[in-house]
C-alpha cells in the first residue's frame, strides 16, 4: 500500500464529474487499499478518487455503522469501498451539520443533508451492494458522492468559515 497525494482547490479535477469504473482487477483493489491508507493518514472519514487526482467513481469511507455507536469511541468502525455509487432514495428529513474537506483545508461549513440515504453501488469485486445510511454516515456518503459529481461542500454550505478551535478541525469529511 502507498499513500497518495490529496489534491486541493483550485485543482480542476475536483470540479469534474468522475467516470464509471469498468475494470475490477488487482489494480483497482490496490487503489482502494491506497485510498483507505491515505484517508486514515490524513486523517479523514471519507475519500473520493477525484481527491487523489483520479476521475473514477470510487469512494472509501470509514465510520461507525450504527448512529448509536457515534457516542462510543470504542465502538468498531466499518470501512466501505463503493464503486459507481448512486443515491437511489433519500429521506424527506434533512439535518444541518458542520463539514470540512481534506481537499479544502482550513475551511468548515454548515451543510444541509438528507438524514437518511439508500445507496446502490458495486464492491471492490464488482458485486452489487446496497447501503442504508443514517445520520453522520449518511452525511459522509452524500459528501463523497458529491465529490464524484464535481461538487464541493462549499457549494452546498449556507455558511463557510475558518475554524478557530481544535474541535472544529476534527469535523473534516
- Which is catalytic among the residues 99, 116, 144, 172? 144
- The residue assigned the cell 457549494 is 155
Catalytic status, residue 112: no
Q: In what order do the strands lie in the sheet with 128-134?
A: 46-48, 58-64, 77-90, 116-122, 128-134
For residue 6, which of 25, 30, 26, 37 has the smallest C-alpha distance?
37
Q: Is residue 49 within 8 Å of 55, Cβ to Cβ?
A: yes
CB-facing half-sphere around the CA of 50: CA atoms within 13 A: 29
Q: Which residues form the catalytic set?
A: 144
Amino acid at each position: 500500500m502507498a499513500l497518495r497525494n490529496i489534491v486541493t482547490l483550485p485543482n480542476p479535477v475536483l470540479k469534474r464529474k468522475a467516470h464509471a469504473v469498468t475494470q475490477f482487477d488487482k489494480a483497482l483493489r490496490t487503489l482502494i487499499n491506497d485510498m483507505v491508507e491515505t484517508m486514515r493518514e490524513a486523517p479523514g472519514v471519507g475519500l473520493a478518487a477525484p481527491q487523489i487526482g483520479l476521475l473514477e467513481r470510487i469512494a472509501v469511507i470509514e465510520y461507525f455503522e450504527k448512529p448509536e455507536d457515534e457516542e462510543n469511541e470504542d465502538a468498531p468502525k466499518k470501512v466501505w469501498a463503493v464503486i459507481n455509487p448512486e443515491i437511489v432514495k433519500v429521506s424527506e428529513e434533512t439535518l444541518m451539520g458542520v463539514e470540512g474537506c481534506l481537499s479544502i483545508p482550513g475551511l468548515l461549513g454548515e451543510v444541509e443533508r438528507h438524514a437518511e440515504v439508500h445507496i446502490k453501488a458495486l464492491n471492490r469485486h464488482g458485486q452489487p451492494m446496497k447501503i442504508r445510511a443514517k445520520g453522520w454516515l449518511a452525511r459522509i456518503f452524500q459528501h463523497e458522492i458529491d465529490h464524484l459529481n464535481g461538487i464541493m461542500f462549499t457549494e452546498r454550505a449556507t455558511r463557510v468559515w475558518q475554524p478557530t478551535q481544535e474541535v472544529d478541525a476534527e469535523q473534516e469529511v
